[in-house]
C-alpha cells in the first residue's frame, strides 16, 4: 500500500544491524556464518500505555526504557559466574545461556556446518525456537550450560549451582512426563536430550546410571510419540539426537531396538533424506539385533538348526557390511580433497615407553569435526560387526546338521554374486555345490579389526583439541570403548589396551584430556 512502510522480513539480529538477511528458517545463513546466534523472526509486541496521566508516552521512549533495563549478553569466550544474569523474559534468558553453551560445546571452526545440516550437533539449533510454555527446557539448558562452564573453569561453586539446576530440572521433568498433555510437547523431549548431554560430562563416578536412565526415558517417550515425531523440523532434530543415544545404548546392551522397525526408518525430510548422517543412522539401527542374535547363537546348545540359523545371521552381517561400504564410498566421493591424513602425534600417553616407543606415533587429522564424527561412527560400526562375525564363524563351522537342512539354508540364504566377491574373505568354488561337507564361512581378518581399532585411537588427539569444543571428546566415548573390546578379544595388544585406559591421563597444551567423561558399563 502506498504510504505505508513495508514490514521487514529479516531476522531480529539482521534487522537490528541493518544488514541483508538470508531469510532461511529457522536460522538465517548470515548469522550462522558469522558464528552469531540467529534470534529468529518473531516480533515481540510492545504496548504503549498512552493515558490521560501520561499523554506524551511514545513508542520510541518505551523501547528506550526497555533497552536500558536489559543487561548485556554474555559472550561465549567470557564465562565467569558473575556474568550469568537472569532475564525477566524466558526467551531472552534462553538466548543468553544458549550463547554461552554453544561457545563451549561447538568447535571454533565448522560450527556452521554442524548446525545448518544433519549432524551430531544439529539438535542445538532448535533450542531457541522452543516454546516458553514451561520452565523445564530453560532450566535444563541452564544446568547443561553451567556444567560446561564449571567444567572448563574448574569452578566448584558453579558446579554446585549446576547440580542444583539439574535437580530442579529433574523435578520439573517428572511433572511434565506425568502430564498426559505436556509429555507430548517438544520442550519435554528437548529437556531429556539436554539432561542426557549433562550426564555425559558428569564424570566417571556414577558409571553411566544417570545417562542410561535418561536414554531409557527418551526411548519410552519416542515410542509414545510414534513415528509422527519427525513431522516438524524441531521435533525431528530432537529425534535425531535421541535416536543416536538410544542406538548407542542398544549396542552397549547388545539388544535390538524398536528403531529398526520399518515405520521408524527414513523419517528425514525430503531435503535431508540423502544426508550422510541420516543415511548412516538409518543403516546402523540393524546392528543391535545382529549383536543380540550373535550372543543367542553363542549361548545355545548346538542342534540341527544351529548351522542354518548361523548362516542366515552371517548373510545378514554381510548385507549390512555391503551397505556400510557403499555409504562410505559415497561419502568419500562427495568430499573434495583428503578426508583424513596422518601427522606426527604431539601428545604422549603414559602407556608409551622409552624401550618400545610410542604406541601410536601418528595421529589422524580430519577435514572437519563433522567428517571425523561420521568416520568414527563408521569405523565403530564395522568393528562391532566384524567382532560379531568373528564370534559366530567357529560356531557355524563346527555345527552339525542334516544334509537336507543345510542345502535348504544355503539355497535360501546364500549371497548373490556381488556379495561373494567382496574383499577376499568369502572363499567359494564356482564348480562345487555348497554342501555341508565342505562349506566353511571365513571370519573377518584380525588385521582388519585391529586396523579399525587403531584408526579410532589415532583420531582421539584431533577430537580432544580445545578448538573442537566439548563436542569433540564426546564423539570419542563410544568409539574408544569399541576399540578396547577389539584389543581385549585378541592376544598381543596389551599396550594398545593400556593406551586406551590412559587417555584421561594424557596432558598437553591446547588439549582437554582432563575433561571428565562419563563411564558407561566399561566405557573409558
- Asked whether the beta carbons of 297 and 394 are under 8 A apart, the reply is no
**3-class SS at 6?**
coil
What nine digits make up the cell of 171? 523435578
Q: Which domains does the chain have, with CATH numbers?
A: 9-70 (4.10.240), 90-277 (no CATH), 286-505 (no CATH)
Q: Is 42 exposed, middle or buried (0-12, 13-18, 19+ CB in 10 A)?
A: exposed
- Asked whether the beta carbons of 379 and 456 are under 8 A apart, the reply is yes
Question: Which secondary-structure segment (H or E) carries 363?
Answer: strand 362-366
- Predicted confidence at residue 407, as pLDDT, reads 53
Sequence-ordered strand ranges (E) for 281-351: 340-344
* Sequential pLDDT tens for the chain (524 residues): 444 444 567 877 788 777 888 777 656 777 766 656 566 665 554 445 555 556 666 554 554 554 444 443 333 444 443 343 433 344 676 677 788 888 889 888 766 666 666 788 888 888 877 876 678 888 999 899 888 888 888 888 988 999 999 999 999 999 999 999 988 999 999 999 999 999 998 765 544 678 889 999 999 999 999 988 877 888 888 999 999 999 999 999 999 999 999 999 878 776 666 789 989 999 999 999 999 999 999 988 877 778 888 999 999 999 999 999 999 999 999 988 899 999 999 999 999 999 999 999 999 999 999 999 999 999 999 999 999 999 999 998 887 544 444 554 555 445 443 343 334 444 332 333 344 444 678 899 999 999 999 999 999 999 999 999 999 999 999 999 999 999 998 999 999 999 999 999 999 999 999 888 886 654 43
Backbone phi, psi, residue 341, to 5°? -155, 150
What nine digits make up the cell of 396? 557355524
| CA angle at 385 for the pair 380 and 390, rounded to the nearest 5° | 125
Beta partners for residue 341, in sequence order: 365
- Predicted confidence at residue 112, as pLDDT, reads 65
What nine digits make up the cell of 241? 539426537
Give the length of the chain: 524
Beta partners for residue 353, in sequence order: 357
Alpha-carbon distances, residue 184 vs 128, 130, 212, 229, 279 (angstroms): 18, 13, 21, 9, 26
**3-class SS at 340?**
strand
- Predicted confidence at residue 114, as pLDDT, reads 65
Peptide bond into 26 cis (omega under 30): yes
How would you write 440-474 as a 3-class SS string? CCCCCCHHHHHHHHHHHHHHHHHHCEHHHCCHHHH
What nine digits make up the cell of 67? 533497552
- Predicted confidence at residue 150, as pLDDT, reads 86
DSSP state string for 153-218: HT-HHHHHHHHHHHHHHHHHHHHHHHSTTGGGSHHHHHHHHHHHHHHHTS-STTTTHHHHHHHHHH
Amino acid at each position: 500500500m502506498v504510504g505505508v512502510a513495508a514490514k521487514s522480513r529479516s531476522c531480529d539480529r539482521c534487522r537490528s544491524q541493518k544488514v541483508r538477511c538470508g531469510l532461511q528458517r529457522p536460522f538465517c545463513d548470515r548469522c550462522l556464518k558469522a558464528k552469531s546466534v540467529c534470534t529468529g523472526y518473531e516480533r515481540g509486541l510492545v504496548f504503549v500505555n498512552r493515558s490521560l496521566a501520561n499523554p506524551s508516552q511514545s513508542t520510541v521512549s518505551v523501547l528506550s526504557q526497555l533497552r536500558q533495563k536489559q543487561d548485556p549478553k554474555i559472550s561465549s569466550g567470557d564465562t565467569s559466574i558473575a556474568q550469568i544474569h537472569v532475564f525477566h523474559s524466558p526467551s531472552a534468558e534462553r538466548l543468553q545461556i544458549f550463547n554461552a553453551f554453544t561457545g563451549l560445546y561447538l568447535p571454533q571452526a565448522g560450527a556452521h556446518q554442524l548446525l545448518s545440516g544433519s549432524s551430531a550437533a544439529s539438535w542445538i539449533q532448535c533450542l531457541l525456537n522452543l516454546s516458553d510454555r514451561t520452565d523445564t527446557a530453560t532450566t535444563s539448558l541452564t544446568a547443561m550450560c553451567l556444567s560446561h562452564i564449571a567444567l572448563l573453569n574448574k569452578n566448584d561453586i558453579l558446579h554446585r549451582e549446576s547440580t542444583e539446576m539439574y535437580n530442579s530440572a529433574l523435578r520439573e521433568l517428572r511433572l511434565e512426563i506425568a502430564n498426559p498433555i505436556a509429555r507430548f510437547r517438544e520442550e519435554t523431549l528437548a529437556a531429556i536430550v539436554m539432561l542426557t548431554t549433562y550426564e555425559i560430562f558428569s564424570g566417571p563416578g556414577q558409571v553411566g546410571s544417570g545417562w542410561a536412565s535418561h536414554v531409557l526415558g527418551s526411548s519410552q517417550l519416542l515410542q509414545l510419540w510414534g513415528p509422527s515425531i519427525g513431522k516438524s523440523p524441531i521435533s525431528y532434530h530432537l529425534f535425531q539426537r535421541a535416536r543416536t543415544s538410544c542406538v548407542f545404548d542398544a549396542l552397549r546392551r547388545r539388544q535390538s531396538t524398536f528403531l529398526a522397525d520399518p515405520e521408524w526408518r527414513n523419517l528425514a525430510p525430503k531435503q535431508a533424506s540423502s544426508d550422510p548422517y541420516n543415511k548412516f543412522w538409518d543403516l546402523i539401527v540393524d546392528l543391535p539385533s545382529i549383536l543380540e542374535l550373535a550372543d543367542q547363537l553363542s549361548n545355545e546348545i548346538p542342534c540341527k538348526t544351529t548351522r542354518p540359523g548361523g548362516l542366515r545371521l552371517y548373510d545378514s552381517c554381510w548385507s549390512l557390511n555391503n551397505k556400510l561400504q557403499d555409504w562410505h564410498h559415497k561419502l568419500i566421493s562427495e568430499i573434495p580433497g583428503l578426508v583424513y591424513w596422518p601427522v606426527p602425534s604431539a601428545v604422549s600417553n603414559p602407556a608409551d615407553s622409552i624401550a618400545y616407543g610410542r604406541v601410536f606415533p601418528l595421529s589422524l587429522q580430519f577435514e572437519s569435526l563433522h567428517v571425523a564424527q561420521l568416520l568414527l561412527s563408521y569405523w565403530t560400526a564395522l568393528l562391532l560387526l566384524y567382532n560379531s562375525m568373528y564370534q559366530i564363524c567357529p560356531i557355524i563351522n563346527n555345527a552339525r546338521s542334516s544334509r537336507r537342512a543345510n542345502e535348504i539354508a544355503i539355497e535360501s540364504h546364500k549371497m548373490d554374486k556381488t556379495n561373494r566377491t567382496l574383499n577376499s574373505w568369502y572363499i567359494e568354488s564356482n564348480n562345487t555345490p555348497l554342501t555341508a561337507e565342505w562349506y566353511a564361512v571365513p571370519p573377518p581378518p584380525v588385521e582388519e579389526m585391529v586396523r579399525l581399532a587403531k584408526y579410532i585411537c589415532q583420531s582421539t588427539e584431533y577430537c580432544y583439541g580445545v578448538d573442537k569444543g566439548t563436542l569433540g571428546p564426546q564423539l570419542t566415548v563410544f568409539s574408544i570403548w569399541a576399540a578396547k573390546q577389539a584389543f581385549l578379544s585378541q592376544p598381543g595388544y596389551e599396550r594398545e589396551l593400556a593406551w586406551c585406559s590412559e587417555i584421561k591421563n594424557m596432558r598437553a597444551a591446547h588439549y582437554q584430556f582432563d575433561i571428565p567423561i562419563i563411564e558407561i558399563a566399561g566405557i573409558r
